[in-house]
Amino acid sequence: MTLPPASPAIARAIAAVGVVKHFGSVAANRGATLDVAPREIHALVGENGAGKSTLMRIVSGMFPPDAGTIHVNDRDVTGWTTDAAIAAGVGMVHQHFMLVPTLTVAENIVLGHEPSRRGVFDRARAVKDVEALTERTGLRVDANRRVSSLSVGEAQRVEILRTIFRGARILLLDEPTAVLSPPEIHDLWRILRRLRDDGATVVLITHKLDEVMDVSDMVTVMRQGETIVRTPTRDTTPAALARAMVGREVALAGATAVAVGAAPAAPIPFNPAGTTQNRAISRDATPLSGGVRAVSPSAPTLTVRDLVVPSARNVRAVDGVTFTAIGGEIFGIAGVEGNGQTELIEALAGLRRATSGSIHLGAHDITRDPVRTRVDHGLSHVPEDRHRRGLILEYSIADNLVLGAQHQYSRRGVMDRDRIAANATERVAAFDIRPPDASLPARALSGGNQQKIVIAREMKRNFSVLLAAQPTRGVDVGAIEQIHDRLRAARAEGKAIVLVSAELSEVMALSDRIAVMYGGRFVAVVTRAEATEEILGRYMTGAAGTAGGAT
């Protein structure tokens, strides 16, 4: 496809210049620029915390910039409201759905603009309008179904439909694929291309480079609040984009990081005789039966056998997983989010009941143990969502630093305030938590420092096995390095670490062995030496695992 030349005669769909936005002491945007031509699919990429969402929210009117200007369709709209943005045809599709589950698809879509006859809601017309819209856009969803019965992919289609129904011609999508399965992602691309061909403009926030290469016409890279690169997609490579995102040659173990599945994959170099599922189990069974690795009998291990865990939507969200993590190794679990990793970790941590299978911590069967017993047996857990699980935001740093160990920091039921304070002073210093005032509520800290509280708590405790779920999500680069160092140090001390991360580069940089989780199963378990981005990528998207090989 040809790019519209940057001629002044052609309207810019979006032109953001020199955008600055602070949240407290954190600069989310510092002079960010975005230039989007009409009728293009524009990818906005960058690491977590690069300021992509902030910039999009400013464009969509959720809050004004501290400095800089926003033009939409060549009109200065700096600091406008969401209402004005919607009226001007700018609509944002958020990462988290904002739908009413008990209403039907049609009712959700017309919500706020309900057709009515003599003051009464005209359901028939709403359904007709919505059906006409689905016909026109190719976004197929049954208008009469309740939203609560939709899959995630369908719910997202409803979100997009609603945005279009309100007249959006410039669509801003915030990480739309985070919760989608590969076929659903494929559908989404088809839909976005069709919208573009009908004259719409699409801005797509993502940090996955394969998606950029797949669907976008132009790409803008942001790093630490600034715009680094703007280039036509066909003129760049995933490696170049990765370099721009991170700001240096991606020297982590996976050299080309993130570029999963961008290039047509080479044939999978190993071709297990049986299914990959068998391969995963047999590979794992080896250490169990005492071969291969020289494991001292006292080394801490986490042994999981045939674990089945339900979620709200899926009775087998974890569908028979078997593995052993051994002291002195980092066992990485890669996979697209929503393939059972959350449920697996929660089951291991005691936050979710397994329907069958077993979990052993060393010699202890902890399958049915409550959280506290697992902690006392030496299990630590960095949860994936620090705001929901990992911290009590209103509690002070000091109080958060004993969460989960409050029974060890109390005497006869009374909290031991001196020890809590001493513990806080020590950990705040050791983990460089800022500001270094342990009486501040956790809410007052930046994301990276909040995560340091969690890490400090879980890694200073006397533990043998650590579950680390998305340990660096939403954390700035410096803190990432520090957290990675801590994980490596724990491995060197002989702890067993189970690492779950949505960032393939992170899994590859840290892990000794890597399992790929897809559809609730481990579709492959490979050693670090065997792993390449290509292989893992193909398993992650289900392209390899199901057919036992490539096309």
Partner 1 sequence: MSTSATPLPPAASAAPQPPRPVAGQRGMRSALEEALLPPLVALLIALVVGDILILTFGESPRQVYRLLIEGTWGNPYGLGQVLFKATTLIFTGLAVSLGLRAGLFNIGAESQLAAGGFAAAVAGLTLAAGTPAIIAIPLCILAAAAGGAAVGAIPGVLKARFGAHEVIVTIMLNFIVLAFLNWIVAARMAVPETLHTAEMRAGTVPRLADSMGAFHGSAANWTILVALAAAGLVWWYLERTRAGYELRAVGLQPDAAEYGGVRVGGVWIRAMMFAGALAGLGGINQVLGYKHYYEDAFTGGAGFLGIAVALVGRNHPLGVVLAALFFATLSQGGLAIHALVPKQMVEVLQGIVILAVATSVPEVRRLLRESAARGVR
Kindly state whether residue 425 participates in binding partner 1, applying the rule CB under 8 A: yes
Dihedral of CA atoms 438, 443, 449, 453 in degrees, nearest 10, equals: 60
φ/ψ region of 448 (left if φ > 0, alpha if ψ in -120 to 50, else beta) reads alpha
Task: Identify residues 476-505 at the interface with partner 1 (CB under 8 A).
Answer: none
Interface region with partner 1, contact rule CB under 8 A, candidates 30-38, 85-93, 132-140, 404-412:
404-412
> CB neighbours (10 Å) of residue 205?
23
> Would you say 355 or 439 has its CB closer to partner 1?
439
Nearest distance in Å: CB 257, partner 1: 31
Segment lying near partner 1 (by CB under 8 A), choices 38-46, 160-168, 394-402, 539-547 = 394-402
87-146 positions binding partner 1, by CB under 8 A: 100-102
**How many other CB atoms are found less than 10 A from the CB of residue 296?**
9
Work out how close the CB of 405 gets to partner 1 at its nearest, in angstroms, rounded to a whole number: 8
User: Any contact of residue 273 with partner 1 (CB under 8 A)?
Assistant: no
Question: Rounded to an integer, what distance in angstroms lies between the CA atom of residue 68 and that of residue 522?
Answer: 48
Indicate whether 396 belongs to the interface with partner 1 (CB under 8 A): yes
- For residues 173 and 205, is the Cβ–Cβ distance under 8 A? yes
Residue of 3, 124, 251, 371 that binds partner 1 (CB under 8 A)? 371
**Can residue 344 be called a binding residue for partner 1 (CB under 8 A)?**
no
Q: CB nearer to partner 1: give 315 or 392.
A: 392
Q: Does 381 bind partner 1 (CB under 8 A)?
A: yes
- In angstroms, the CA 309 to CA 274 distance is 25
x/- contact string, 435-474, with partner 1 (CB under 8 A)? -xxxxxx---------------------------------
Smallest separation, CB 406 to partner 1 (Å): 5
In angstroms and rounded to an integer, the radius of gyration of the C-alpha atoms of the chain is 25
Strands 41-45 and 67-72: unpaired
Q: Using H for helix, E for strand and C for coil, what is the string for 91-105?
A: EEECCCCCCCCCCEH
Asked if 457 and 399 count as a contact pair (C-beta separation under 8 A), the reply is no
Minimal distance in Å, beta carbon 371 to partner 1? 4
Cβ count near 292 (within 10 Å): 9
Determine contact, residues 387/473, Cβ cutoff 8 Å.
no
Q: Which of 151, 406, 462, 527 binds partner 1 (CB under 8 A)?
A: 406
Binding of residue 392 to partner 1 (CB under 8 A): yes
Piece in contact with partner 1 (CB under 8 A), picked from 136-144, 399-407, 464-472, 481-489: 399-407
Distance CA 118, CA 40 (A): 42
Q: How far apart are CA 241 and CA 213, in angstroms?
A: 10
By C-beta, is 151 or 271 nearer to partner 1?
151
Instruction: Count Cβ atoms below 10 Å from residue 258 Cβ, excluding itself.
Output: 25
H helix count then E strand count, the chain: 17, 24
CB nearer to partner 1: pick between 260 and 309:
309
Residue 372 interacts with partner 1 (CB under 8 A): yes or no: yes
Choice between 403 and 459, CB closer to partner 1: 403
Residue number with CB closer to partner 1 (95 or 546) = 95
Whether the CB-CB separation of 507 and 333 falls below 8 Å is answered with yes
Q: Is 313 in the site for partner 1 (CB under 8 A)?
A: no
- Which of these segments, 253-261, 293-301, 382-390, 488-496, binds partner 1 (CB under 8 A)? 382-390
Query: Does residue number 395 form part of the binding site for partner 1 (CB under 8 A)?
Result: yes
Q: Which residue has the tokens 């990818």?
A: 43
Residue 298 binding partner 1, by CB under 8 A = no
Give the Cα separation of 174 and 48 in Å (integer). Answer: 12
Q: Is 389 in the site for partner 1 (CB under 8 A)?
A: yes
**Rounded to the nearest whole angstrom, what is the least distance from the CB of residue 361 to partner 1 in the complex?**
15
- How many Å is the maximal CA-CA distance in the chain? 80
Question: Quick one: 169 or 381, whose CB is closer to partner 1?
Answer: 381
Evaluate the omega torsion of the peptide bond into residue 182 and state whether it is cis, within 30 degrees of 0: no
Q: Is 26 in the site for partner 1 (CB under 8 A)?
A: no
CB of 382 vs partner 1, minimal distance in Å: 10
Shortest gap between Cβ of 148 and partner 1 (angstroms)?
Answer: 9
Minimum CB–partner distance for residue 410 and partner 1 (Å): 4
Token pair for 295: 């494991």
Window contacting partner 1 (CB under 8 A); options: 130-138, 172-180, 225-233, 418-426: 418-426
Nearest distance, CB of residue 521 and partner 1, angstroms: 26
**Quick check: 394 binds partner 1 (CB under 8 A)?**
yes
Contacts of 345 (CB under 8 A, 6+ apart): 381, 383, 384, 467, 469, 498, 500
Using the rule CB under 8 A, which residue among 209, 349, 523, 536 binds partner 1?
349
Coil, strand or helix at 192: helix
| 404 contributes a contact to partner 1 by CB under 8 A | yes
Query: Please, what is the minimum distance in Å from the beta carbon of residue 350 to partner 1?
Result: 8
Query: First vs last Cα of the chain: how many Å apart?
Result: 27
> Footprint of partner 1 on residues 208-267 (CB under 8 A)?
none
Among 48, 27, 50, 26, which residue's Cα sits nearest to residue 435?
Answer: 26
Size of the site for partner 1 (CB under 8 A): 42
426 makes contact with partner 1 (CB under 8 A): no
C-alpha dihedral, 100 to 106 to 110 to 112, nearest 10° = -30
* Contact call for residues 378 and 464 (beta carbons, < 8 A): yes
| Contacts with partner 1, residue ranges (CB under 8 A) | 100-102, 349, 351, 370-372, 375, 381, 383, 388-399, 403-404, 406-407, 410, 413-415, 417, 421, 424-425, 428, 436-441
